[in-house]
Amino acid sequence: MNETDTGYSIRHDVFDRREMLGAAVALDEAPISRTKAGARHVLSVPVVRELARDRRLLEIAAPFVGPTPVPFRATLFDKSPASNWLVVWHQDTALPMRARVDDASWGPWSVKAGVLYAHAPASALATVIALRVHLDDSTAANGPLRVLPGTHSKGVLSDADIERLARNVTAVDCVAPSGGVIAMRPLTIHASSKASDGNLRRVLHIEYAEAVHLGPGIDLAVG
């Protein structure tokens, strides 16, 4: 499989289960603001910050974004019997920004959890890779990430184009055991169904960029 062409890759056993259990316990005890789906902006949590800078993750990110990957955002996705949710087919096009820029290729703008966001152009999103660290086993029955391979190469798409591709491209379930890591380009069309087996599916979604400075006055917010 050519990772650059498909827009995603799956690696098993990057971390051992004890490491993932320790991370899960630390997150349970961390004073973070949770939503139904998990928690935004958890890079400040020590265990997350340590994982994000772990050599094993940096080595996975480097082929996508360059030799010195910079972690800039981390999100906890927490799917459980008490909070079971689905996500429709979409691309990740919003990036956290330090300040607004007067550039028509950036926007619309919004604020999420107190952080400024802008929908970014494809050129900026191409410098980003997301690494999804599985704290629990991800199986076909507990609402795993699903991707449409190769769709990241088509740029930022309209909802109609995403729906058309979802009908015509064969989806792949991205399953991995606890300690596995899935790398995904932001523009890869992806979704997630509800879990059907009642098991936990917690994932740390850590994003890396080539640099936080993307251009004159254009800087990613880190958190």
Residue pair 121/138 in contact (Cβ under 8 Å)? The answer is no
Structure tokens at 44: 């400040």
The alpha carbon of 222 is separated from its chain's Cα centroid by a whole number of angstroms, namely 15
Strand partners, 94: 119
User: Which residues neighbour 140 within 8 Å (Cβ) at sequence distance 6 or greater?
Assistant: 173, 175
Task: Provide the 3-class DSSP secondary structure of residue 161.
Answer: helix
Look over the chain and give the mean of its residue pLDDT values, rounded to a whole number: 92
Residue pair 150/6 in contact (Cβ under 8 Å)? The answer is yes
Q: Quote the pTM value.
A: 0.93
Specify the pLDDT at position 21. 96
- 214 — phi, psi (to 5°)? -100, -10
CA–CA distance, 183 with 103 (Å, rounded to integer): 29
Specify the pLDDT at position 207. 98
Label residue 163 left, alpha or beta by phi (over 0 means left) and psi (-120 to 50 means alpha).
Answer: alpha
Specify the pLDDT at position 2. 42
Structure tokens at 162: 């995403």
Mean pLDDT by 10 residues, the chain (223 residues): 72 96 94 84 96 98 95 91 81 96 93 93 96 94 92 96 97 96 97 80 95 93 90
Domains of the chain by start residue, with CATH: 3-91+128-208 (2.60.120.620)
CA–CA distance, 159 with 174 (Å, rounded to integer): 23
CA–CA distance, 56 with 60 (Å, rounded to integer): 7
CA–CA distance, 15 with 76 (Å, rounded to integer): 17
- 174 — phi, psi (to 5°)? -95, 90
Specify the pLDDT at position 3. 46
